């Protein structure tokens, strides 16, 4: 993602130290959200397989829909369409209605692109596809993913968005 997108989301969510656009999160060992090693990189800098890796009790933030991203994300706004790290030209229908997530920047590697994850809370589960590198230490999800957990995301302005699901277990398939 463009550096401007990282800065914008940092402002929206009050985040700091969001990393740079050139850092794909795969430059050595990283910490997962439970304090242990999230991934080790192979000698060539690519992440090892996340198959079966679980992240229990996570907070899932709303990343946005087509309207929010094309109005508020400077990179998508400049391109007049949504641009994900894993897909530079997703359809509007997919962005607005698909099950997709962004992986926290500290855990992200391009090898995770288009991998499936299972997100569960209680008896409710949904399968989503990794489409983006997040800007925070939290996973971020699409409107459809958050609605599956009875969260109604949205925004009033680029500086005022809402949509958070807590207690989510995320398992890479």
Q: What is the per-residue pLDDT across 144-170, written as a single tens digit (0 to 9) for each?
A: 999 999 999 999 999 999 999 999 999
In whole angstroms, what separates CA 149 from the centre of its chain?
A: 16
Tell whether 25 is covered by a domain: no
What total of structural domains would you count in the chain?
1
Structure confidence at residue 19 (pLDDT): 32
The backbone torsions φ and ψ at residue 93, rounded to the nearest 5 degrees and listed phi first, read -60, -45
Structure confidence at residue 48 (pLDDT): 56
pLDDT band at 30, cuts 50/70/90?
A: very low
Tell whether 124 is covered by a domain: yes
According to the 3-state scheme, what is the secondary structure of 10-56?
A: HHHHCCCCCCCCCCCCCCCCEECCCCCEEECECCCCCECCCCCCEEE
**Closest by CA position to 65, among listed 103, 92, 38, 31:** 92
Tell whether 22 is covered by a domain: no
87: containing domain:
3-17+52-172
Structure confidence at residue 74 (pLDDT): 80
Half-sphere exposure of residue 60: CA atoms within 13 angstroms, side-chain side? 31
The backbone torsions φ and ψ at residue 77, rounded to the nearest 5 degrees and listed phi first, read -60, -45
Tell whether 168 is covered by a domain: yes
Tell whether 158 is covered by a domain: yes
Lookup: tokens for 99: 């099950």
Tell whether 38 is covered by a domain: no
CATH code (residue 164): 2.40.40
Tell whether 41 is covered by a domain: no
Tell whether 11 is covered by a domain: yes
In tens, the pLDDT along 96-114 reads: 999 999 999 999 999 999 9
Least confident of 36-40, 62-66, 88-92, 122-126: 36-40
């Amino acid at each position: 993602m463009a550096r401007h997108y990282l800065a914008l989301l940092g402002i929206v969510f009050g985040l700091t130290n969001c990393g740079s656009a050139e850092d794909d999160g795969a430059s050595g060992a990283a910490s997962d959200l439970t304090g242990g090693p999230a991934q080790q990189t192979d000698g060539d800098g690519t992440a090892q397989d996340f198959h079966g890796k679980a992240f229990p009790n996570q907070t899932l933030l709303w990343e946005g829909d087509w309207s929010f991203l094309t109005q508020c994300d400077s990179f998508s706004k400049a391109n007049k369409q949504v641009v994900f790290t894993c897909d530079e030209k997703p359809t509007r229908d997919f962005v607005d209605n698909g099950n997709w997530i962004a992986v926290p920047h500290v855990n992200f590697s391009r090898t995770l692109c288009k991998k499936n994850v299972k997100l569960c809370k209680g008896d409710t589960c949904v399968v989503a596809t990794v489409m983006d590198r997040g800007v925070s230490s939290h996973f971020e999800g699409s409107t459809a993913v958050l609605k599956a957990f009875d969260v109604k995301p949205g925004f009033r302005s680029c500086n005022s968005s809402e949509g958070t699901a807590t207690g989510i277990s995320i398992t890479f398939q």
